[in-house]
Amino acid sequence: MITFNYETSFELKDENLLEKWIENVVSDQEFSIGEINYIFCDDAYLHKLNVQFLNHDTLTDIISFDNTLGKQVSGDIFISVERVVENAKDFKVSFDEELHRVMIHGVLHYMGYKDKTDDEKQQMRTAEDKAILVLSNW
């Protein structure tokens, strides 16, 4: 089950489509959906979590707490809508493209993708791009 929660006035345009998209990406990697909770918030909300749980005193666009068991993907994904807006400008992409990239980024982490080394970052980016291409063709 995928749920979308809002701690800001922001709301997704098409929750059903995005839920099907995420389920498709997960099943293509031969995983299944357990419980994924998306929480959309602002910078202050996410900064507080970053300090409290990760001891990082910085702004970030996403924090994910992984509860995946085996091949069943589960966790809580917190996304700062404010950071996504800023990152979209910085990367010269649409807000929706950046939002979708961040949304699937958290799920890909749950399926074992990493992004610490250059090689891992490239593999993550390739998987993100593939997922976004699927969504754009729907």
Domain boundaries, the chain: 2-136
Per-residue confidence (pLDDT) for residue 92, from 0 to 100: 97
138: pLDDT confidence band, cut at 50, 70 and 90? Answer: confident
Three-class SS of residue 82? helix
Strand-pair category, 62-66 with 72-80: antiparallel
* Residue 56 annotated in ligand binding: no
Q: What is the mean pLDDT of residues 88-98?
A: 97
Per-residue confidence (pLDDT) for residue 63, from 0 to 100: 96
Phi/psi-derived region of residue 127, left when phi > 0, alpha when psi is between -120 and 50, beta in every other case: alpha
Is the separation of the CB atoms in 76 and 103 below 8 Å?
no
Q: For the chain, what's the residue count?
A: 138
* Residue 100 annotated in ligand binding: no
Q: Write down the CATH number for the domain with range 2-136.
A: 3.40.390.30
Return d(Cα 120, Cα 117) in angstroms, integer.
5
